[in-house]
Amino acid sequence: MLSGLLLNSVWITLEPNAEGGDLVTLIEVSEPRSTPPTQALQDLHRRLVLEHARVATDGQMVAVPLLGETAVIGSLGAATAPGERLTDEQVGLLTTVAHQVRVALENARLYRQRQDSLRSYARQVTQAQEEERLRIARELHDETAQELVQVVRKLERLHHGLDSRSAEPVDELLNLTRNILQAVRRYSRDLRPSVLDDLGLVPAIEMLTEDTSHRLPRGARLQVHGRPRRVDSLVELALFRIAQEALRNVENHARATSAAVELDFSADGIQLSVTDDGPGFSPPEDISALARVGKLGLLGMKERAELVGGRFELSSTGRGTQIVVDVASTNKPPA
């Protein structure tokens, strides 16, 4: 809209998001070699803010405010070519454009607030789920499993006092109870393994890998690079859940014979990768599209990674599928 106004440069100056921050200025110049008047345009912006003016101009430069709900959020400015002066028509059109820019910025702000609210809600839901998993896991381990242990011991004592014919049904019942006890312990471990809280990410994922290895024809292996270390508990939990879901997908859906899990600890952060040797598939460009067909596993992994400030990547070819999650050392869960 400003291309026909013979302007030397146009810019947007935005107020800092946080107190004490710096002004943000985006400048476009008509001549690539020309030097934009950064200091002068920021001075015009400050005049707008301090004087609550509708327009600030020095004849060759003009700035009009971008008004938010309670204060000036920025300004839109322009400068004429050397030797020219701004006309009323140019200032009027700049004011019209400033209104449209303000609307766009407000929409972007509202969208960002909505995204922040959704992330906050997702974190709260995830935290509530994990707390409930922990509660159920403890009840299964401390109550149900211990009661089954008592039943096994009583059946063992009963079994020893019977002849072979009478002992046969008791023996069947004893084996059934032992199998149930193993299943309860496995459910408890899957819900929230104590090794994750007690020993950290590497032993927990090693346990996952070993458990999966028994159910794949060529097994599963874990490789650890760098020096393992404990990190934020939310990061450890997110990476564990992603590895758990990825290995479950390998076992149930990938038609794979083997899987490889890698943990790479570096000064920059932690990288988790899970790779299988299945035939692969054609993932959509936007993983969120999988939710519309009920495939929530990959989307859940992506969201868990993003909730702790990580990056999720998926690649799949005719020779297998790989998921990679990177979490930087400086990354904190978004507020």
Residue with tokens 């004849």: 59
pLDDT value at 213 more than 50: yes
pLDDT value at 31 more than 80: no
Residue with tokens 């403890």: 138
Provide the 10 A C-beta neighbour count for residue 319: 12
CATH number of 196-328: 3.30.565.10
Average pLDDT over the chain, rounded to an integer: 85
Q: Where are the alpha helices (DSSP H) in the chain?
A: 38-51, 88-139, 145-160, 164-191, 194-198, 201-213, 233-252, 297-307
Please compute the mean of the pLDDT values over residues 146-167 and round it to a whole number. Answer: 87
Q: What is the pLDDT of residues 40-67, one digit of tens each?
A: 778 888 888 887 777 877 777 888 888 8
The Cα 61–Cα 85 span in angstroms is 8
Q: pTM of the full predicted structure?
A: 0.66
DSSP 113-157: HHHHHHHHHHHHHHHHHHHHHHHHHHHIIIIIHHHHHHHHHHHHH
pLDDT value at 115 more than 50: yes
Angle at CA of residue 160, ends 156 and 164, nearest 5° = 115
Domain residue ranges in the chain: 7-86, 123-190, 196-328
Q: What is the pLDDT of residues 284-310, one digit of tens each?
A: 777 777 767 667 788 889 989 998 999
7-86 has CATH 3.30.450 classification = yes
Confidence of residue 331 (pLDDT cuts 50, 70, 90): low
**Of 86, 98, 26, nearest in space to 60 by CA:** 86
For position 335, what pLDDT does the model report?
46
Retrieve residue 55's tokens: 């327009």
* Cα separations in angstroms, 301 against 3, 72, 187, 257, 313: 46, 40, 21, 22, 10
Q: What is the pLDDT of residues 71-109, one digit of tens each?
A: 888 888 888 877 778 788 878 888 888 888 888 888 888
Confidence of residue 147 (pLDDT cuts 50, 70, 90): very high
For position 1, what pLDDT does the model report?
45
Radius of gyration in angstroms for the set of CA atoms belonging to the chain, rounded to a whole number: 31
pLDDT value at 2 more than 60: no
For position 189, what pLDDT does the model report?
83
Could you tell me if 204 and 231 are in contact, meaning their C-beta atoms sit under 8 angstroms apart? no
For position 311, what pLDDT does the model report?
94
**Of 252, 237, 256, nearest in space to 308 by CA:** 237
> H or E element: which one contains 219?
none
Please compute the mean of the pLDDT values over residues 265-282 and round it to a whole number. Answer: 94
